């Protein structure tokens, strides 16, 4: 990436404002045209949202987008719709034992709504607050129930693939456990054994840092500073790590860039969350200093890898080891090309990763450490993402951010007529995280409360 040091947060406000204008149009278009009886919309085909996938992991993004739209613009129609849709559609996601996506679905909806109440943006209502908070409490404990023990006496939230499978994605969904814990909840098991959700959330984060992120320390022949594996595979009989793997990337020894982006953002957020806990709470988990050291190392490594392996304008290709990416030559020195003939861009990785860069940069700056490299890299990606050819200005296209990729190995993504690779489509997670990225910087520019998932907990700063 060629980091632009001339950019400022304030200089990008006009692009953020334009994004919210387009976002409103897209939400209205989906509401008008999409048939919810078919299931949750996942990604677009020829500009229209469709469903395809293995689990219902994107509905929280659909209705969470309405909350973010209201948050940024104050348009009451979106708040009204978000409240109604959360009640009507989201209950099954709270009690869903079959997925690792509770932070995506439930913190994006119930969490964002109660955050607005905590901020005084919507009126205080005891029953409404209780409704949102009970949902968040239950969601965190249900998510924590998907637990696999590791040989070191810790463990991880296993993916929908089964108890052997640690997904790097889940580092951003672990917030469901942290919110539930802060609301005073625990996981209750056989014989009324109570398990701390802070403990499980922390152990999962540590496992992800240890097994999903590489640091150039010789773990295997492809161990490079900041590389990530989508999936880490364990022997569930003895808790031993066996190998890296991938479901949506090219291989376990290459870096699927959306998985990388989840790690960038997830570890930056976990760094931020440490200040919400006392030294006494963190001591049994390794202590504040050690946790900060681990999270910071993972955040820096993944953000460095993103910067070093992304195009000049900050938009990555879908996998840094994709089989034909060598045909693009030195793509990191050139502007991204979503219409090339060899490998697809994944704009959703940019939307997620840019927020991780900004959060890490701010975290370091606030600690009187130099975070400017990461902050400016985040602005660079945002500047490109919120402009053509990535911003969707076609009034008939339901997507907000173009050139998102879901599952390249399975061939699920649409290849337009006349093109050789998938391009021109959007995804629920890409569009949601573009909105979240816009809201993050919008609030900083407007001197509004800092946007954090722990805003879902009353009296949190």
Angle at Cα 271 formed by Cα 407 and Cα 176, nearest 5°?
Answer: 60
- Domains in the chain and their CATH numbers? 10-456 (1.50.10.10)
What's the pLDDT at 461?
45
Interval 17-43: pLDDT, tens: 999 999 999 999 999 999 988 889 999
What's the pLDDT at 37?
84
Tokens of 389: 């050819």
What's the pLDDT at 56?
82
CB-based contact 275:298 (threshold 8 Å): no
What's the pLDDT at 134?
98
CB-based contact 27:66 (threshold 8 Å): yes
Angle between helices 257-273 and 288-308 (to 10 degrees): 150
What's the pLDDT at 53?
66
What's the pLDDT at 459?
82
What's the pLDDT at 460?
55
Please give the distance of CA 229 from its chain centroid, rounded to a whole number. Answer: 16
3-state secondary structure 74-131: CCHHHHHHHHHHHHHHCHHHHCCCCCCCHHHHHHHHHHHHHHHHHCCCCCCCHHHHHH
What b/e readout covers 39-57, taking b as 16+ CB neighbours within 10 angstroms?
A: ebbbbbeebbbbeeeeebb
**Per the omega criterion (within 30 degrees of 0), is the bond before 389 cis?**
yes
What's the pLDDT at 160?
94
Q: What are the backbone dihedrals phi and psi of residue 148, each rounded to the nearest 5 degrees, phi first?
A: -120, 125
Q: Which of 347, 437, 449, 361 is nearest to 12 (CA)?
A: 437
CB-based contact 322:343 (threshold 8 Å): yes
Sign of the Cα pseudo-torsion (146, 205, 308, 242, in order):
negative
Q: Which residue shows structure tokens 């947060």?
A: 9
Please give the distance of CA 130 from its chain centroid, rounded to a whole number. Answer: 26
Tokens of 217: 């320390």
What's the pLDDT at 201?
98
pTM for this one? 0.98
Contacts of 80 (CB under 8 A, 6+ apart): none
Q: DSSP E strands: which ranges in 19-76?
A: 43-45, 48-50
Tokens of 375: 């902050």
What b/e readout covers 251-261, taking b as 16+ CB neighbours within 10 angstroms?
A: bbbbbbbbbbb
The one-digit pLDDT tens for each residue of the chain (461 residues) are: 999 999 999 999 999 999 999 999 999 999 999 998 888 999 999 999 998 766 789 999 999 999 999 999 999 999 999 999 999 999 999 999 999 999 999 999 999 999 999 999 999 999 999 999 999 999 999 999 999 999 999 999 999 999 999 999 999 999 999 999 999 999 999 999 999 999 999 999 999 999 999 999 999 999 999 999 999 999 999 999 999 999 999 999 999 999 999 999 999 999 999 999 999 999 999 999 999 999 999 999 999 999 999 999 999 999 999 999 999 999 999 999 999 999 999 999 999 999 999 999 999 999 999 999 999 999 999 999 999 999 999 999 999 999 999 999 999 999 999 999 999 999 999 999 999 999 999 999 999 999 999 999 998 54
């Amino acid at each position: 990436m060629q980091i632009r040091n001339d950019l400022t947060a304030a200089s990008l406000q006009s692009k953020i404002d334009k994004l919210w204008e387009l976002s409103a149009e897209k939400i209205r278009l989906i509401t008008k045209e999409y048939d919810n009886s078919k299931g949750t919309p996942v990604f677009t085909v020829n500009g229209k949202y469709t469903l395809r996938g293995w689990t219902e992991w994107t509905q929280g993004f659909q209705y969470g987008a309405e909350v973010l739209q209201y948050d940024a613009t104050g348009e009451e129609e979106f708040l009204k719709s978000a409240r109604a849709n959360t009640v009507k559609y989201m209950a099954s996601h709270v009690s869903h034992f079959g997925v690792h996506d509770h932070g995506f679905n439930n913190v994006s909806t119930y969490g964002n709504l109660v955050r607005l109440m905590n901020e005084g943006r919507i009126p205080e209502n005891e029953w409404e607050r209780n409704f949102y908070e009970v949902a968040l409490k239950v969601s965190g404990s249900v998510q924590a129930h998907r637990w696999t023990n590791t040989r070191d006496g810790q463990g991880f939230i296993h993916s929908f693939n089964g108890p052997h499978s640690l997904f790097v994605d889940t580092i951003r969904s672990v917030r469901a456990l942290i919110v539930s814990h802060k609301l005073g909840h625990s996981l209750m098991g056989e014989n009324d054994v109570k398990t701390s959700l802070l403990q499980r959330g922390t152990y999962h984060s540590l496992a992800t840092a240890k097994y999903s992120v590489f640091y150039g320390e010789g773990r295997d022949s492809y161990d490079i500073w900041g590389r990530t594996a989508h999936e880490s595979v364990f022997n569930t009989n003895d808790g031993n790590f066996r190998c890296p793997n991938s479901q949506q990337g090219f291989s376990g020894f290459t870096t699927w860039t959306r998985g990388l982006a989840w790690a960038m953002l997830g570890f930056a957020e976990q760094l931020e969350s440490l200040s919400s806990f006392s030294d006494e709470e963190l001591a049994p988990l390794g202590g504040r200093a050690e946790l900060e050291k681990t999270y910071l190392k993972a955040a820096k490594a993944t953000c460095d890898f993103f910067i070093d392996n992304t195009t000049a304008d900050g938009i990555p290709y879908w996998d840094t080891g994709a089989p034909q990416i060598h045909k693009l030559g030195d793509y990191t020195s050139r502007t991204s090309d979503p219409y090339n003939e060899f490998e697809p861009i994944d704009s959703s990785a940019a939307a997620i990763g840019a927020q991780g860069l900004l959060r890490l940069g701010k975290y370091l700056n606030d600690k009187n450490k130099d975070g400017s490299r990461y902050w400016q890299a985040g602005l660079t990606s945002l500047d490109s993402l919120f402009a053509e050819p990535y911003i969707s200005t076609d009034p008939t296209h339901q997507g907000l951010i173009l050139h998102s990729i879901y599952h390249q190995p399975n061939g699920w993504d649409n290849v337009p007529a006349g093109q050789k690779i998938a391009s021109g489509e959007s995804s629920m997670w890409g569009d949601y995280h573009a909105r979240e990225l816009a809201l993050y910087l919008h609030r900083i520019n407007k001197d509004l409360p800092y946007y954090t998932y722990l805003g879902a907990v009353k009296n949190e700063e």
